[in-house]
Structure 1
Amino acid sequence: MIRNYFTVAWRNLIRNKAFSAINMLGLALGMACSLLILLWVQDEHSVDGFHANGKYLYQVYERQQFDGKTEASYSTQGLLADELKRLIPEVQYASSLEWNNPFTFQVGDRINKMEGTFAGADFFRMFSYKLLQGNPETALDAPNGIAISRKMADQFFGSPEKAIGKAIRYENKDDLTVTAVFDNLPANSSQQFDFLRTWKDYVKVNDWVNNWSNYNPSTFIQLRPGADPAKVEAKIKAFTYRFKPKSKAIVEELALQPYPEKYLHSTFKNGQLDGGRIEYVRLFSLVALFILIIACINFMNLATARSAKRAKEVGVRKVVGAVRSALMGQFVGEAMLLTFFSIIIAVSLVALLLPAFNTLTGKQLILPVSQPAFWATLLGLLTLTGFVSGSYPALFLSAMSPIRVLKGSLRFSPGATLFRKSLVVFQFALSMLLIVGMIVMYRQMDYIQTKNLGYNRENLIYIPLEGELGQKYTLFKEEAGKMAGVLTISRMRGTPTVISHHTGDFGWPGKDPNQAISFADETVGYDFVKTMKLQLKEGRDFSKAFGTDSLGFLVNETALAKMGYKNRTVGSSIGQPLSWGQRQGTIIGILKDFHFTSMHQAIEPLIVRLDEKRQWGTVLVRTEAGKTKEALVSLEKVCKELNPRFPFTYQFSDQEFTRLYQSEQMASQLANYFAILAIFISCLGLFGLATFTAEQRTKEIGVRKVLGASVTSVVTLLSRDFLKPVLIAILCTTPVAWYAMSQWLESFAYKIDIEWWMFALAGSIAIGIALLTIGFQSIKAALMNPVKSLRSE
C-alpha cells in the first residue's frame, strides 16, 4: 500500500510539473532560509560554551549611581581581581584582562603586528584555551613573559616547539620570553587575541592601576564548586569600599554575570543587564519561523487550488472503499515526498550561499554534515514541514463527498474559502512586518552614516603613534606637513571614533561636593580643532603662541552645562578656572557638541587638555580631497624613515565609524534579503489562490463575457477580490510593525522618527507586487473563450 501511495504521489508530481516546481521552489527557499538562520543561531549560542569551567566562570561588572542616574559597565579597577581572590574564600581563581590592541613584534628580520593584551596569572587556569607548550600554572606568572598563539609561533619561530623559551622583541623596547604557546582560538570564542602578556608587567608601567578610583580592565573570577553565586554577589557588593572611602555623591556596587551569558547579554539599561545580541538571535529565529510558515501556507494554497482536478480521484477512491485515514495518509505522503525533494534543493542552496552568508555575518559557518544532530534536524524539518504543509489539503480533500464530486457539484463552503483567504492575510501580514523592518532599519543606518557628527570624518586618517614615532612626532609633523595632499596634522590619546576614558576628578568654583559627574576626558596636540574640523562656540584652539596652554582646557557644550556655566553671559565661560586632579588651569575654548561614541549613547560631557609629550596614541592626518592616495604614499615614506622598525599602518575615520554598527548593519542587510524572500514566497501563495479562484469561477466568467463584460471589467473584478486579503494584512500589521520598530529604535539615543509614509511605501510595495502576481492569472482567465468556459465541468 505504501508503495502504491508513493507511486501515485510521484505520478502526480510528474504530471503537474509547473505546480510541483512552484511548490518545491517555495518550500526550498523557505527551508534554505530557515537552515541558514538556524546555523547562525546555533553558532551564536555556542559562543564561549566550550570552557570546561564555564558554570563557575563569572565576569564582574560595576554599577554606579550618581548625578541622578544609574549606569553600569564591565570596566573595573586594576587591583580588583587579586583582592577578590585574596579576601573572598569562594573565589578560587581571578584574573584581570585589558582591552585588545595591536602591537609590533620582531624576531630577527621578521616584523609583524599582532593583536593581544595583558592578563592575570590565573587566566589559563580559568579558561579552556589549549596550551600546546608550557604550563597553565606558570604561563602568565613570570615578569617579561609572554604566551603566544600557534599562528604567532609559526610566523616568528616556525613551530610552537621552537618558540618556547625564545626571546621576542616587543614594540622595539622590551625583550620578552615565550613561556607558553596556545592553540589558535576557536571562532566561537568571544575573546580573540594572538598573545597575552603578564599582568605584573602591566601594573609595572601603569601607575594608575594602584588608584581605586580608576577603571579600565575587565575582571573575571572562577568560583569554587558548591559556592552560591547569589551569596558571593551579595558579599562583594560593597567590596570597593574596603579600599576607598564612601562618597555621598556616588554609590558603587559590584555584581556578577555568568561568563557564558555575556556574549549574548551585554547591554546595560539603568544599571541592569538588558538585552544585547540576544535580541537579534530572537528576532531572526522568529524570521526563520515566519518564512517557513509562509512557505507552508504557500503549499497549502497551491494544493487546494489543484483540488478541483483531484476531486474525482478522491470520489472514485472512496466509492471503491478507501477510508478517510488512508486518503489523508496519501496526501500527507505526497507532501512529504515533495518536501523531501525541496529539502535536497534547500541544502544545496545553503551550501551555495554559505560563503556569502559568512561574509555578511562575519561568521565561519559550515554545513555540519558529519554531525548526527544536523541530520536529525533535517529529519525534523522534513517531518514538520511536510506534515504542516500537507495537513490542510489532506483534511480538505479527504472530507469530500463522493456523490457530490462524481455528480460534478463540487462547491466549497464559505468557511473553507475564508480559511484560505485568512492564510493569505497571515502570509502578507508577516511579509509586511519584514518590509517595514527593512525600510526602518535602512533609514536608521542611513541616518547614522549621513548625520553631521560635529566633525568631518571624510579624508581623515588615523596612524598609530608607536615606536620612535612617539619621540619624533614633532619632526614627523614638520616633514609630513610639507607633503602634497596633507593639509593638517594633530594627535590624541585615543581616536575621535571612540573616546572611552572617563574620570570624575574635575573641580570648578561652585561645584557641589556631594555631586559626582563623570566626564569623558582626552589629551590632544596642537591643531586638534583644525584637523578634526570641529566647531568652536567660543574661545580658541590650543596654540604654540600661548605658552600657558599646557594649563588650558577645551570643554564641550554638555560639559559646560554640567558645570553650571550654561546660563552665564556670552563669553564669560572663557577664562573660568578648572582643575583636573592636581592640575590647575582655565577654560580657553568651548567646543560645539560632537559625537565621539556610538549613537546608541547620548553625547557626554567632554574635557580636553593639551599633551604633546605622550609617547603613544594616534596621529590624526587631514588630507586634501582627491589626493588621499598621494598623501598615503608620502606618509608611508616619512614613517619608514623615522620609524623603520615598525610597519606603516593606518585606518580611515569613516571605516572605523562604520565598525561601531556592525551588528545593526548586518541586521539591516539580512532584513532586506528576508523581506524580499518573504514577499516572493507570499506571492506564490497568492498565485495559488488566484489559480483556485479562477478555476472555481470559470463558468461565472464565461457568463459575464457572454452578457457583454469586457476583459478589463473581469480583470478588475478578480483583482479586487484577490487584493482584499493584502489590504486587510496591511491594516492589521501596521500597528504591530510600528510597535516592533519603535522598540528596536529605543536602543539608539539618536534616531529617526517612524513616519506614515514608511507604512504607505511598504503597503504600496506589497500591493504592487501582488498586482503583478494576480495580473497574469486574472488576464488569462478573462481572455478565456467563453464557449470553453461554459462547457468546462
Structure 2
Amino acid sequence: MIRNYFKIAFRNLLRNKLYTTLNVLGLTFGLSCFLLIGLYLFDELTFDQQHNNADRIFRVIEHRKTPAENRSTAAISYKLSEESPKNIAEIEKMARITQFGRDNLGNMTGQKKFLEDITVVNNELMEMFDFEAIDGNPKTALKEPRSMVIVEDLAMRLFGSTKVAGKTIKWDGIEQPFTVKAVIKNHPRNSSFSFTSLNSESTYLSDSSYVNDINRDWSSNSYMVFAMLKKNATPESVSPKMKSLLEANFKPETGTSMVFSLQALKDMHLHSENIINRVVNSNASSASTGSMFYIRIFAIIALFVLLIACINYMNLTTAKASNRSKEIGIKKAIGAVRGQLITQFLAESVLVTFISFVLSVFLVNLILPFFNDFVNKELSLGFSTNYQIWLATLSVILLTGLLSGTYPAFMLSRFSPMLLLKSLKIPNKSDFSLRKSLVVFQFTISVVMIVATIVLFFQVRFVNNKDLGFNKELLLVVDINSGKIRQAAPAIISEFSKIPNVKNVSTTSRVPGEWKNIPTIKVKPMGGIDVHKIAYFLGVDESFSKTFETELLKGKNFAGINDSASVIINETAAKMLNISEPSDQMLEIPERAMGGNFRPLSNNQVFRARVIGIVKDFHFQTLREKIAPLVLGYQKNPIHNIDYYTSRVEAKDIDATLKKMEQILTKIDPENLFEYHFLDQQLALFYAEDARRQSMLIWAALATILIACLGLFGLATYAAEQRVKEIGVRKVLGASVVNLATLLSKDFLKLVLIANGIAFPIAWWATDKWLQEFAYHIEIQWWFFALAGMMAIAIALLTVSYQSIKAALMNPVKSLKTE
C-alpha cells in the first residue's frame, strides 16, 4: 500500500513538471540554507564540549567594583586559586594558566625559531582537560620542572615530526632548555584554547622573586583559573566560599568589593561579551568569542527560510487543487476514505522533500569548502559528521515533509465526492485567503531581512570608513621583540627614516586600535582632594602626532628627551580632570594596571607629570567602546616601555621597504624575528565577525527572496491559467496588453505592500537593538525602509510580470475555443 502511494505520488509529480520543479527548487534552497546555518550553529553551540568532564569544569570570574569602575575579569590571584581546593570541599581541583609575554622558541640546533607566547600552567590543567595525545602522556607531562607540552603544528615546524617526546627546545630569554614531554593534536576550531606550547609552572618555583610574588598575591588578575567541581556540587555553593576565603586573607581598598562567580566551560564562547579575558588569547586575531544574540538571530533565519519553502509547497499545492478535483472525487466515490487520501498527499510531500534533501546535501557539500574558509571552521556533512546532526537533519526532513503536506492533505480530502464530480472544482474561497496570508508572511520575512542587510552593510561601512581621529592608512607597525631592539630606538628610527618610501617614524608603547593590553592608570591633579580617576596610558615620542596625524588642540607637543615628565591628555581626560587649558598643571599617577589589578609603580614612587597639551579625541579602542580618558606620556616614562616602531610609508615598493627594515633590525639583533603588520588590517580584524555575519545575512536574504519568488511565480502562473478565458474576453473587447498585465499583477503587488507595512516596524526594532552593541553607529534612516520596500515590489513585479505579459499576449481565439 505504501509503495502504491509513492508510485502514484511520483506519477503526479511527473504530470505537473513546472510545479514539481518549483517545489523541489524551493525546498532544495530552503533545506540547503537550513543545513549550512545549522552546521554553523551546532559548531558554535558545542564549543569546548570535547572534554569528558566539561559539565563539571567552570571558569572563575572575578567581579570587582571600585569607586571608578565595575569590571568582570576571567582571572584571579595565585593564592586564591592555590588555597581554594584546600578549603572548599566542593572543588576537586583547580587549573591555572598565565602568560609571561612572548619570546623566540627554537630547537637546540638554533636553525628554526618562532615567536611564541610563553604560556605557563600547572599540571592540573592537563589532568582536567582531555587534549588528544600524539606522543607522550599529557596527563603527567607537566609535573616536573622544565617540561613542556607542544601542539603538533609547532612540533612539525621545529622538528619536522610529531614524534618528538624527549627532545629539548629553548626559549631565548630563559637560560635552561625545556624537555618536550608530550605532543598533542592541534586544537579543534570549536575550542577556546589556542596555545601552541605550555611550560610547567613548577619550573618557576625555583625563582625566589617569583615565589615571593605569588605567596603575597591575593588580589591580582594574573591567572585564568578553571575549577573542576565534585559530582553533585553546584557553582552557586562555591562562589560565596571563595569570597569568604579572600576576605579572611586580604582586605581590599576602601570602596572596593570583590565577588566571584563560576562560568560553565560550555558557556565561555557564547556568554563572555562583558568579561575581560587578557591573561591568554590577548591577540584579537587568535581567538574570538561568539555571541548568543547572533546564534538566536541565525537560528530564527534558518527556521524562517525553511518555513518559507514549506509555505511555497502549501501555496502551490492548494492552488493546483482544482485540477485534481476529478481524481479526488472518483477515489472517494469508489470507497477511498479520508485517511487514505491524506496519506497519499503526505506521501507526495515527503517524496518531494526527500528529493529536495538529496539535492540539498549535494549542494551543501559543493558549498562547504568555500563556506569553511569564510567562517574559519571545519564543518562537514558526510559519514564522519556527528550523529546528532544527522538525527536532527532527518527529523527536520520528516517534519518539513509533514508540515508542507499537512494543510493541502486535509484541505483536499475534506470535500464530498458529489460536490467534486458535479462542479469539477474545489471551493477555494477560504483557501485563497490563506494563500494570500502566506504570501504576505513570506514577503514580510523577506523585507525584514532586506532591511537588516542594508543596515548591517552601512554599519560595517561606517566602521571601516569612520574618521578615527588619526590616519590609519599605510601605517606599518613593527614589533619590538627584544631588549636590544628597544635600547637601539634612536638608531633604528634614524635608519628607518632614511628608507626612501618611509615618510615618518614613531615609537610607542602601544598603538591606537591596540589588540593587546593597554595599561590603565590612576590619575588626579596634584594636591586635589578628589579621588583618583581611571585613564588609559600610551607612551609615545615627539613624532607620534606627525606620524599618526592626530590633531593637537591646545598647548604644545613633546620636544624631546627633556619631556620625560610631560604628558598630553585627550579631550575626554581633560573634561574628567577639569582642565580647559594646558598650563603645566601637575598630575600624580601612583599606580597602573595591565588589564588586572592596580599596582604601585616601581619603588612605590608616584609619577608626577605636567600637562603640556590637549589632543583631539581619537579612537584607540574599537568602535564598540566610547572614547575613554587617555594620557600620552613621553616614551621614557615609569609606566610602560616602548613596544612598537610605526612608520608611515608610501604605497609603492612595500616589499623593498620591509626587506630594508628587516635588515636594519637583524644587524642590531640577529636573533630577533622580524614581525610586522599594517594597522588598518589589524583594525579590520575587530570587525571581521561583523563582516562575516553581513555576508551570511546577505546570502540568507537572497535565499529567502529567491524561494518567495519561486512561489510567487507559481501562483502567478496558476492565476493566469485560471483567468485565461477572462483575459480572452477582455482582449476581444479592446483591453490592451498593459491593462491586462496590470490586472493580473495588482493583486500580488497589494500583498507585497501589506507585507511592507508589517515588516517595517519589526525590522526597525531588530536593527535598532543590534546597533546598540556599538558605542558609535549609524542612525536608521527612513530611506532604508523605502529602498527595501521598493526592492520587494520590484522583485515581485518582475516575478509575476512574465506570466502576466505572457497571458496578455496570448491569442484570444485559442483561449476562447475551449469554452
Q: Is the 8 A contact 1:454 1:594 kept in 2?
A: yes
| CA-CA distance at 1:627 after TM superposition | 4.8
Residues 185-584 of structure 1 mapped to structure 2, 5 A cutoff: 185-199=187-201, 214-237=220-243, 240-242=246-248, 244-268=250-274, 277-370=291-384, 371-408=386-423, 410=425, 412-467=427-482, 468-498=484-514, 500-509=517-526, 511-512=528-529, 515=531, 517-544=533-560, 546-547=561-562, 549-565=563-579, 568=580, 570-572=581-583, 574-581=584-591, 582-584=606-608
Which residue of the partner structure matches residue 153 of structure 1? 155
Deviation of 1:184 after TM superposition, in Å, equals 2.2
Q: Distance in 1 between matches of 2:82 and 2:140?
A: 16
Shift of 1:456: 1.2
% of aligned pairs identical?
Answer: 37
Give yes or no for contact 1:554–1:588 (8 Å, CA) kept in 2: yes
Q: 1:116 to 1:295 in 2, by over 3 A?
A: farther
Q: CA deviation at 1:161?
A: 4.1
What are the Cα deviations for residues 607-662 of structure 1, in whole angstroms up to 9, with x where unaligned? 23233597772222221244534422321222333333333221111111111122
Report the CA distance shift for 1:686/1:510 in structure 2 as closer, same or farther (over 3 A).
farther
* Match of residue 610, structure 1, among 624, 634, 644: 634
How many residue pairs get aligned? The number is 783
Separation of aligned partners in 2, 1:422 and 1:99: 59
Distance (whole Å) between structure 2 residues aligned to residue 554 and residue 535 of structure 1: 12
Worse-matched range after superposition: 198-207 or 64-73 = 198-207
Preserved CA contact (<8 Å) 1:170 1:176:
no
Secondary structure in 1 matching 2:227: strand
Q: Distance in 2 between matches of 1:99 and 1:785?
A: 81
Amino acid at match of 1:113: L
CA distance in 1, matches of 2:537, 2:308: 52
SS of the aligned residue for 1:521 comes to: strand
Quickly say closer, same or farther: Cα 1:147–1:266, change in 2 above 3 A: same
The secondary structure found in structure 2 opposite 1:64 is strand
- What amino acid is aligned across from residue 260 of structure 1 in structure 2? K
Distance 2:630 2:649 in 1: 26
Residue 593 (structure 1) aligned with residue 617 (structure 2): yes
Alpha-carbon offset, residue 339 of structure 1 = 1.2
| TM-fit CA distance, 1:285 | 0.9
- Cα deviation for residue 28 of structure 1 reads 0.5
Which position in structure 2 is the counterpart of 1:18?
Answer: 18
Instruction: Please identify, of 403-412 and 638-647, the stretch whose mean Cα deviation from structure 2 is larger.
Output: 403-412
1:38 aligns with 2:38: yes
Q: Which moved more, 1:137-146 or 1:482-491?
A: 137-146
After superposition, the Cα gap between the structure-2 partners of 1:269 and 1:493, relative to the gap in structure 1 and judged at 3 Å, is: closer
- Counterpart AA for 2:675: T
Shift of 1:409: 5.4
Matched, 1:757 2:783: yes
Q: What SS does the corresponding residue of 1:518 show, helix, strand or coil?
A: strand
Instruction: Tell me which moved more, 259-268 or 129-138.
Output: 129-138
User: In 2 relative to 1, CA 589–215 (structure 1 residues): closer, same or farther, beyond 3 Å?
Assistant: farther
**RMSD across aligned C-alpha pairs, in angstroms?**
2.8
| 3-state SS of 2:372 partner | helix
Aligned partners of 2:521 and 2:589 also within 8 Å: no
Contact 1:119 1:198 in 2 (8 A): yes
SS in 2 for 1:367: coil
| AA aligned opposite 1:576 | M
Structure 1 pair 137/19, CA: closer, same or farther in 2 (3 Å)? closer
Q: Which residue of 2 aligns with 1:113?
A: 115
CA contact (8 A) 2:90 2:230 kept: yes
Q: Secondary structure at the match of 1:237?
A: helix
Q: Which amino acid aligns with 2:763?
A: A
**Shift of the alpha carbon at 1:540?**
3.1
**87-96 or 54-63, which deviates more:** 87-96
Cα displacement string for residues 48-82 of structure 1 (whole angstroms, at most 9, x for unaligned residues): 01222222222122223344763323244455423
* Distance in 2 between residues matched to 1:558 and 1:551, nearest whole Å: 21
Q: How far is the alpha carbon of 1:138 from its aligned partner? A: 5.3
SS of alignment partner, residue 533 of structure 2: coil
Distance 2:426 2:3 in 1: 32
Displacement after TM superposition at 1:374 (Å): 4.1
Cα contact 1:701–1:714 (8 A) shared by 2: yes
Cα distance 1:676–1:146, how it changes in 2: closer, same or farther (>3 A)?
Answer: same
**Residue equivalent to 1:688:** 714
Question: Which of 765, 771, 778 is equivalent to 1:745?
Answer: 771
Q: Distance in 2 between matches of 1:790 and 1:621?
A: 81
Distance 1:380 1:635 in 2: 60
Paired with 1:68 and 1:703, the residues of 2 have a C-alpha distance of 81
Q: Which stretch of structure 1 is more off in the superposition, 13-22 or 296-305?
A: 13-22
Which amino acid in 2 is paired with 1:376? L
**Is the alpha carbon distance of 1:745 and 1:611 closer, same or farther for their aligned partners in structure 2, counting shifts above 3 Å?**
same
Cα deviation, residue 731, structure 1: 0.3
Compared CA separation, residues 660 and 102, structure 1 to 2 (3 A): farther
The 8 Å contact of residues 463 and 619 in structure 1, kept in 2 or not, is answered as: yes
* 1:504 to 1:495, Cα distance in 2 relative to 1, 3 A: closer
Q: Is the 8 A contact 1:60 1:220 kept in 2?
A: yes
Give 1:691's aligned amino acid: T
| Distance across 2 between alignment mates of 1:208 and 1:453 | 40
- Give me the whole-angstrom Cα distance separating, in 1, the residues matched to 2:156 and 2:587: 56
Task: Deviation per CA, 1:371-429: give whole Å up to 9, x if none.
Answer: 54444334222211111112222223223443344344525332111100101011111
Q: Which moved more, 1:37-46 or 1:404-413?
A: 404-413
Structure-2 residue corresponding to 1:641? 667
Distance in 2 of aligned mates of 1:214 and 1:623: 41
Residue type of the alignment partner of 2:586: Q
Q: Write out per-residue CA displacement over residues 690-744 of structure 1, whole angstroms, 9 at most, x where no aligned residue.
A: 1232233233222322322222111111211111111111101111111111111
* Superposed CA offset, 1:213-235 (max 9, x none): 65454232223334332121112
SS, match of residue 469 in structure 2: coil
Which residue does 1:622 correspond to in 2? 648
Alpha-carbon distance in 1 for matches of 2:766, 2:500 = 51
TM-score, length basis structure 1: 0.92
Q: CA deviation at 1:453?
A: 0.9
Q: Provide the C-alpha distance between the structure 2 equivalents of 1:239 and 1:560, rounded to a whole number of angstroms.
A: 41
1:133 Cα deviation after fit: 4.7
Shift of 1:171: 5.3
Q: Which shifted more, 603-612 or 127-136?
A: 127-136
> Which of 117, 126, 129 is matched with 1:127 structurally?
129
Whole-angstrom CA distance in 1 between matches of 2:613 and 2:656: 34
* Corresponding position of 2:285: none
- Contact 1:67-1:516 at 8 Å conserved across structures: no
Deviation at 1:480, TM superposition (A): 1.6
Rounded to whole Å, the distance in 1 between the matches of 2:409 and 2:87 is 69
TM-score by length of 2: 0.89
Q: Is the 8 A contact 1:304 1:692 kept in 2?
A: no
